[in-house]
């Protein structure tokens, strides 16, 4: 027999393992289950509700009421995509085998300010070098030109050593990242390491610490290391050419470069994309991607809405001029260095 | 006084002689587990995944010289893997490594051998969601103390000696890894490593492993057939991660388990009458 006064203690001990069982919601793969799963996942993890002043509860009420009996998958996908577009965030995608939703207004509502063909034809004379996606050439004004189309393309240390060696006799360097919509953050580190000479804080990163809209960690400094003595580095003047289609990792790159003394940002305000996105599989088989970790520049300002050009360096390249072979942004950079 | 001294020396000599005669071989069990796994991890996805699970395990047992018939030492090692899918067919993979060292004390209640003990264990592993971008993996790592209890009952079926046993292991206190709620591994790589290690107990790091086994002793070797039920869960920084396994285990025990032909000089770590 167990003494009566020990029974409560025994009951507590037997119940202790049950405290380890944390339930979770099993969403159905139907219209309401899919909708609720999308809404709740975004509600728990999205990082820019306050910055974008989005009333997510109101959005739920408005869109959930539009789910009707017999709604098709295509209609549901379109409805959810429309709801997600309320976030006005280019890092938000809903994907299924036949489509990927994408908020495009961050660049479609702005001039393009770039035409690669114009640069290739009228400035590089179709005579340039390429390696791992980089296009580079010494311009007649003895200015190096380097086009980096995407941070998805990994550039090797050896490639960078070679390119910068070839351009090392130039008086200045133009890094053109127009239309670069981002890619791997680690590629920024490789590229950037050639333009800094000491450990440099390039910005700050935070993450959600809980499902509340304002539950964030303290900003953590994102430090970049120089390439070191065994690699070719650049310490002469640099111009970084930007347009509205510079997004995500390209936006991060501009935020760091803008703080360097020998760098001017020339062109248009970048598109933003200052939130590292996470991806989640949904019950219906679709995948949901959205910003979860907000990034800030070295001053602590959010870079989600883009980076302005350096003072006095906002330039636009109208389509009609580009069609005629004139790139006003590139011309501005060349003139600036030629006049120095 | 001299008599007492002689008695003690005689006892020690007898003990040493006896100890030399008794053999305490290391006995091992090698098994493969095949079955089902269900996983839920809201760092990776708000839906659960399930599918096939495959594991390979090894156990090494040895009677201890201090009290060879009662005190046992054991090492366990396991590699586990899961090939999972969501209901809609989205893939996820699970890989885990486990290692533990422990001691247990055994006694007999009639023909049933009962044992209890504890062990120190290490575990590392990860769930890998192939379609995720910046959150592709949720890693797990822990070091902790588990409590073990087991019962073994020898029976004979048509002349074949069997040992039916049930063993349960319950992790108790631990230290375990968990990233923050929305923290990327990239940020950890950058150096933000605060609050990654947590003190674990049943409320935030619960697990249980139960093995119901039948060992068929053929003399030179024994065959193990068993069913393993295992749960591993983690609740930290608002991240809910759970794994459940149901496995059929088939294993071999080289040298048998000593039921068919008992050598009185060999201490059998599986069963001693």
List the end-to-end C-alpha distance of chain A, in Å, as a whole number. Answer: 96
* Chain A closest-CA separation from residue B158 CA (Å): 39
Whether the per-residue pLDDT at A148 is higher than 70: the answer is: yes
Q: Do A21 and B233 touch (CB under 8 A)?
A: yes
Q: Do A281 and B205 touch (CB under 8 A)?
A: no
Whether the per-residue pLDDT at B170 is higher than 80: the answer is: yes
Instruction: Give the Cβ contact number of residue A225 at 10 Å.
Output: 12
Query: pLDDT band at A1, cuts 50/70/90?
Result: very low
Both tokens assigned to B9: 């020396």
User: Look-up: residue for tokens 């139907």?
Assistant: A30
Whether the per-residue pLDDT at A19 is higher than 90: the answer is: no
A215 touches chain B (CB under 8 A): yes
* Chain A closest-CA separation from residue B141 CA (Å): 17
For residues B147 and B116, give the distance between their C-alpha atoms in angstroms, rounded to a whole number. 8
Q: What is the pLDDT of residues B75-96, one digit of tens each?
A: 999 999 999 999 999 999 999 9
Q: What is the ipTM of this complex?
A: 0.89
The pLDDT value given to residue B263: 78
The minimal CB distance from A281 to the residues B86, B134, B206 is found for B86
B145 near B119, Cβ under 8 Å? yes
3-class DSSP state of B11: helix
For residues A317 and A243, give the distance between their C-alpha atoms in angstroms, rounded to a whole number. 9
Q: Do B186 and A289 touch (CB under 8 A)?
A: no
Q: Which of A335, A307, A317, A258 is nearest to A116 (CA)?
A: A317
pTM, entire model:
0.89
Both tokens assigned to B102: 């422990």
B124 near A272, Cβ under 8 Å? no
Q: Which of B119, B8, B174, B237 is nearest to A217 (CA)?
A: B237
Whether the per-residue pLDDT at B61 is higher than 70: the answer is: yes
Q: Which of B45, B237, B205, B236 is nearest to A207 (CA)?
A: B237
List the end-to-end C-alpha distance of chain B, in Å, as a whole number. Answer: 38
> In order of start, what are the domains of chain B with their CATH numbers?
25-254 (2.40.128.100)
For residues B145 and B211, give the distance between their C-alpha atoms in angstroms, rounded to a whole number. 18
* Chain B closest-CA separation from residue A194 CA (Å): 19
Name residue B201's beta-bridge partners.
Answer: none
Contacts of A27 (CB under 8 A, 6+ apart): A33, A34, A36, A37, A282, A283, B46, B47
For A242-255, give the DSSP string: E-TT-BTHHHHHHH
Q: What is the CA radius of gyration of chain A?
A: 25
B71-85/B48-63 β-pairing: antiparallel
Instruction: Give the Cβ contact number of residue A325 at 10 Å.
Output: 13
The pLDDT value given to residue B266: 85
Name residue A221's beta-bridge partners.
Answer: A204
The CATH number of A108-195+234-271+306-338, from 3.10.580.10, 3.90.226.10, 3.40.30.10, 3.90.650.10, is 3.90.226.10
The pLDDT value given to residue B25: 87
Q: Do B135 and A25 touch (CB under 8 A)?
A: no
Number of residues written out for chain A: 340
Torsion of CA A294, A300, A305, A306, to 10 degrees: -110
Q: Do B180 and A40 touch (CB under 8 A)?
A: no
Name residue A242's beta-bridge partners.
Answer: A267
3-class DSSP state of A42: helix
* Chain A closest-CA separation from residue B216 CA (Å): 34
Q: Return the percentage of chain A with pLDDT > 70, whole number.
A: 94
Contacts of A135 (CB under 8 A, 6+ apart): A120, A124, A128, A129, A145, A146, A147, A149
The minimal CB distance from A283 to the residues B47, B92, B133 is found for B47
Whether the per-residue pLDDT at B21 is higher than 80: the answer is: no
The minimal CB distance from B135 to the residues A210, A220, A279 is found for A279
Q: Do B87 and A283 touch (CB under 8 A)?
A: yes
* Chain B closest-CA separation from residue A158 CA (Å): 24
Least confident of A120-134, A245-259, B2-16: B2-16
Local structure of residue B258 (DSSP, 8 states): S
Whether the per-residue pLDDT at A281 is higher than 50: the answer is: yes
Give the residue-averaged pLDDT of A216-237. Answer: 95
Phi-psi domain of B45 (left: phi exceeds 0; alpha: psi -120 through 50; beta: other)? beta
User: C-alpha A158: how far from its chain's center?
Assistant: 26
3-class DSSP state of A136: strand
Domain map (residue ranges) of chain A: 28-103+204-221+274-301, 108-195+234-271+306-338
Alpha carbons within 13 A on the beta-carbon side of A12: 5
Interface of A with B in 58-77 (CB under 8 A): none
Chain A residues within 8 A of B203 when measuring between CB atoms: 16, 19-20
Q: Which of A225, A224, A267 is nearest to A243 (CA)?
A: A267
A326 touches chain B (CB under 8 A): no
The minimal CB distance from B181 to the residues A37, A208, A287 is found for A208
| Mean pLDDT across chain A | 94
**CATH architecture of the domain formed by A28-103+204-221+274-301:** 2-Layer Sandwich (3.30)
């Amino acid at each position: 027999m167990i003494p009566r006064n020990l029974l409560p203690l025994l009951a507590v001990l037997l119940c202790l393992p049950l405290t380890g069982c944390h339930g979770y919601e099993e969403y159905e793969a139907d219209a309401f289950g899919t909708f609720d799963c999308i809404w709740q996942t975004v509600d728990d993890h999205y990082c820019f509700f306050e910055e974008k002043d989005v009333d997510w509860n109101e959005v739920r009420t408005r869109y959930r009421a539009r789910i009707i009996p017999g709604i098709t998958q295509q209609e549901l996908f379109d409805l959810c995509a429309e709801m997600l577009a309320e976030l006005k965030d280019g890092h938000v995608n809903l994907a299924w085998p036949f489509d990927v939703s994408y908020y495009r207004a961050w660049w479609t509502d702005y001039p393009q300010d770039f035409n690669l063909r114009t640069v290739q034809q009228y400035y590089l004379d179709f005579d340039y070098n390429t390696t791992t996606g980089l296009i580079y050439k010494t311009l007649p004004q003895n200015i190096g030109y380097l086009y980096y189309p995407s941070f998805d393309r990994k550039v090797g240390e050896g490639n960078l050593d070679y390119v910068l060696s070839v351009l090392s006799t130039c008086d200045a360097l133009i890094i053109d990242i127009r239309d670069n919509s981002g890619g791997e953050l680690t590629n920024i580190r490789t590229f950037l390491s050639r333009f800094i000479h000491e450990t440099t804080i390039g910005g700050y990163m935070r993450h959600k610490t809980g499902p509340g809209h304002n539950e964030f960690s303290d900003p953590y400094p994102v430090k970049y290391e120089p390439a070191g003595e065994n690699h070719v580095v650049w310490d002469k003047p640099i111009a970084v050419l930007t347009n509205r289609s510079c997004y995500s990792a390209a936006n991060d790159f501009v935020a760091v470069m803008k703080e360097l003394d020998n760098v001017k940002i020339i062109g248009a305000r970048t598109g933003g994309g200052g939130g590292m996105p996470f991806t989640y599989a949904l019950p219906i088989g679709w995948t949901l991607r959205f910003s979860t970790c907000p990034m800030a520049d070295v001053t602590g300002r959010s870079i989600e809405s883009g980076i302005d050009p350096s003072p006095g360096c906002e330039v636009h390249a109208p389509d009609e001029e580009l069609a005629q072979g004139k790139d006003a942004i590139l011309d501005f950079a060349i003139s600036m260095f030629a006049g120095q | 006084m001299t008599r007492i001294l002689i008695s003690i020396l005689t006892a020690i000599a007898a003990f040493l002689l006896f100890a030399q005669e008794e053999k305490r071989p290391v006995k091992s069990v090698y098994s493969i587990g095949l079955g089902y796994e269900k996983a839920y991890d809201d760092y990776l996805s708000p839906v659960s995944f399930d599918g096939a699970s495959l594991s390979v395990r090894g156990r090494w047992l040895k009677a201890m010289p201090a009290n060879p018939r009662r005190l046992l030492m054991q090492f366990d090692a396991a590699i586990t893997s899961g090939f999972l899918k969501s209901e809609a067919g989205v893939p996820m993979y699970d890989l885990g490594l486990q290692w533990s060292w422990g001691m247990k004390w055994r006694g007999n209640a009639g023909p049933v051998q009962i044992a209890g003990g504890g062990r120190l264990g290490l575990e590392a592993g990860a769930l890998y969601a192939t379609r995720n971008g910046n959150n592709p993996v949720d890693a797990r790592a822990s070091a902790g103390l588990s409590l073990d209890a087991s019962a073994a009952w020898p029976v004979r079926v048509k002349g074949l000696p069997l040992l039916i046993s049930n063993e349960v292991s319950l992790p108790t206190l631990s230290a375990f890894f968990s990233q923050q709620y929305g923290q990327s591994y990239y940020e950890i790589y950058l150096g933000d490593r605060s609050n990654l290690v947590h003190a674990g107990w049943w409320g935030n790091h619960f697990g249980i492993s139960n093995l119901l086994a039948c060992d068929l002793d053929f003399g030179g070797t024994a065959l193990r057939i068993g069913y393993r039920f295992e749960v591993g869960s983690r609740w930290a920084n608002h991240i809910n991660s759970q794994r459940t396994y149901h496995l059929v285990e088939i294993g071999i025990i080289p040298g048998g388990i000593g039921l068919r032909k008992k050598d009185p000089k060999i201490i059998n770590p599986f069963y001693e009458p």
